[in-house]
Amino acid sequence: MAAAADLLAKAKSPLVISQSPELGDGFEPFAGFVDRYALPVVEFWSPRQALPTSHPMHVGREPTAWVKDADVILVLNAMVPWIADHVELKEGCKVIAVGPDPQFRSVPMRSFELDISLGGGTKEAITALAAAMAERVPESEPFAERRERAARAKAELAAAVEKRVAMGSGSPMSPAYVSHCINQIVDERTSIFNELGIDPSVMAFDSPRNFFSSPLSGGLGWGVPAALGAQLADRHRQVIVTVGDGSYMFANPVACHQTAAALKLPLLTIVFNNGIWNAVRRSTLYMYPDGRSAAANVMPITALDPSPDYAAVARAHGAHAERVENGADLPAALERALNATRSGQQALLEVMVSY
């Protein structure tokens, strides 16, 4: 712990990459720790929140540009903290890993080198690290340059988001536009369970338990059953599950909607219908952007034609269900769906999106 604190205290360009932080129901002590020492945080492929997105040190969900410049990286329980084929660590960069098993010894092959491995609970480790840092860093140190860089990065992300949202409000809609509209109905009592549906980078999650996403250990079909469990645990909380059409199919929707009807769970399901297995397409393009599949007119093993009537599936189980094709109609459709859930009825919106 002392060695980790020494590295962070001397770092010029530190970075924190959070993936599965076990921090409890709130954001402390992590939020205060990264704010005090101006440590930029990237939530990469994270199934739960580590920070409010409005936090000054929350700098997005893509680590590549930050990894290139970092001289010390603190990794919070991340099996894959960055994509090694896309970025190399700067010479001399040190990596500190925190988590129950920082080395992920159960993974057959893992090529992420660590300099310091701190095994244990994430919350306890951050508490101890904060105490060690307090002994090494003067209270008067403002870290002005690091704060300015984080502020610039957040402003650039916000500008890019605004452009993406504005371009996607037609027919079909873009996932970014749909995510923006959903963002308008999220409050501190809302939990979103996402499986290849929303684009989290365009949304604000500022309260604990606002956002959950499919873990790296999961498979297709996780989203709707997970959301049903959360709704059953707290019937007074608004639970929204956002899924791709393929993820919806894999969830066994007939069984899920019947469960919601039998247990009177007012779940709101939003199906992003792009007519394609986008998980396969997106992963292939990410890893092999110049491959044969990327050059094909239709990528193999990705088509979902013909598309069934997803709204009809939900309607058969007593749900309020609509299909939305134009972006101009989406805000009102979301409000109707929410009104249904507030009255105790489950609801589904099938939204037509591009990929």
> Over the stretch 194-222, which tens digit does the pLDDT of each residue have?
998 999 999 999 999 999 998 866 778 99
Q: Dig out the tokens for 58 from the structure.
A: 């929350």
54-76 pLDDT, tens digit each:
999 999 999 999 999 999 999 99
Average pLDDT over residues 85-93: 93
Average pLDDT over residues 93-113: 92
pLDDT of residue 195: 95
pLDDT of residue 289: 87
Rounded Cα gap, residues 164 and 147, in angstroms? 26
Helix axes 122-134, 2-10, angle to 10 degrees: 60
316-349 pLDDT, tens digit each:
999 999 999 999 999 999 999 999 999 999 999 9
CA nearest neighbour of 270 among 186, 180, 164, 194: 194
pLDDT cut 90: percent of the chain above it: 82
The pLDDT confidence band at residue 107, using thresholds 50, 70 and 90, is: confident
Rounded Cα gap, residues 172 and 164, in angstroms? 14
Residue linked to tokens 């247990």: 263
Rounded Cα gap, residues 29 and 140, in angstroms? 20
CA nearest neighbour of 209 among 52, 342, 39: 52
pLDDT of residue 239: 98
CA nearest neighbour of 334 among 214, 177, 199: 177
Average pLDDT over residues 157-167: 95
CA nearest neighbour of 271 among 228, 233, 308, 229: 308
Average pLDDT over residues 97-115: 91
24-46 pLDDT, tens digit each:
778 999 999 999 999 999 999 99
Structural domain boundaries in the chain: 2-154, 167-352
Rounded Cα gap, residues 114 and 91, in angstroms? 14
Q: Report DSSP letters for 164-231, one per residue.
A: HHHTT-SSSBPHHHHHHHHHTT--TTEEEEEES-S-GGGS---STTSEEE--TT--TT-HHHHHHHHH
Q: Which of 109-123, 168-182, 337-351 has the lowest mean pLDDT?
A: 109-123
| pLDDT reading at 110 higher than 90 | no
Mean pLDDT of the chain: 93
pLDDT of residue 244: 92
Rounded Cα gap, residues 355 and 162, in angstroms? 18
**What CATH number labels 167-352?**
3.40.50.970
Greatest mean pLDDT among 104-113, 162-171, 269-278, 305-314 lies in 162-171
Name the DSSP class of 303.
Answer: B
pLDDT of residue 277: 64
Rounded Cα gap, residues 38 and 40, in angstroms? 6
3-state secondary structure of 21: coil
| pLDDT reading at 102 higher than 80 | yes
| pLDDT reading at 47 higher than 80 | yes
116-126 pLDDT, tens digit each:
999 999 999 99
pLDDT of residue 334: 98
Beta bridge partners of 178: none
Rounded Cα gap, residues 272 and 354, in angstroms? 9
Rounded Cα gap, residues 255 and 252, in angstroms? 6
3-state secondary structure of 18: strand
pLDDT of residue 278: 65
Looking at domain 2-154, its CATH architecture is 3-Layer(aba) Sandwich (3.40)
